[in-house]
């Protein structure tokens, strides 16, 4: 009986991971419409160019680094190094609500060093919109600021944007 229960738990975990809310639909990531897109790495998008990952279409609007603080004089967050604020429009191109998870978004320096989104600073940088855990209905879109706290001497060169923690992601060049 114990062996059956263990196998059932393992099977349930595998199914749960395989059926996560995200998608690794890289064919739509490249935007080429090529059915064989799953075998190729997705194209790299540029600022202002829409790029798809799973059920989201991302458009990076702008990137600004060098800020020491975000928020107001009363409420805010101070950078350990410097804040980089990246404004991104996210549209749900699927047929079901999809949750935007700001913590799934990554930024990279030229040497390949990975930086995660600073969700606390993101709360202060976004007066009207949340990017941390925002549900977006089909056809709707949100524009928000994703904040990365990086060393003062570092320059971000690209972003890796995901529709969920389990998706393949899409690369957007920042320079």
Q: Check: pTM over 0.85? Answer yes or no.
A: no
Report pLDDT digits (tens) over 107-125.
Answer: 999 999 999 999 889 989 9
Residue-range domain boundaries for the chain: 23-173
Q: Please give the class, per CATH, of domain 23-173.
A: mainly beta
Report pLDDT digits (tens) over 29-84.
Answer: 444 444 444 445 457 999 999 999 999 999 999 999 999 999 988 889 999 999 99
SS (H, E, C) the chain: CHHHHHHHHHHHHHHHHHCCCCCCCHHHHCCCCCHHHHHCCCCEEECCCCEEECCEEEEEEEEEEEEEEEECCCCEEEEEEEEEEEEEEEEECCCCCEEEEHHHCEEEECCCCEEEECHHHHHHHCCCCCCCEEEECCCCEEEEEEEEEECCCCCEEEEEECCCCCCCCEEEECC
């Amino acid at each position: 009986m114990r062996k059956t229960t263990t196998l059932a738990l393992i099977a349930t975990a595998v199914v749960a991971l395989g059926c996560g809310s995200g998608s690794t639909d890289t064919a739509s990531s490249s935007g080429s419409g090529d059915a064989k897109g799953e075998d190729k790495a997705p194209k790299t998008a540029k600022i202002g160019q829409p790029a798809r990952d799973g059920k989201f279409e991302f458009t990076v609007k702008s990137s600004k680094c060098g800020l020491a603080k975000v928020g107001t004089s009363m409420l805010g967050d101070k950078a350990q190094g410097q804040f980089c604020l990246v404004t991104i429009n996210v549209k749900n191109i699927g047929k079901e609500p999809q949750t935007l998870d700001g913590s799934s978004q990554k930024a990279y320096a030229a040497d390949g060093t990975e930086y995660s989104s600073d969700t606390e600073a993101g709360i202060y940088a976004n007066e009207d919109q949340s990017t941390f855990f925002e549900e977006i209905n089909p056809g709707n879109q949100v524009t928000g600021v994703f904040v990365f706290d990086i060393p003062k001497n570092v320059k971000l060169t690209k972003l890796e944007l995901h529709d969920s923690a389990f998706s393949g992601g899409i690369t957007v060049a920042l320079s």
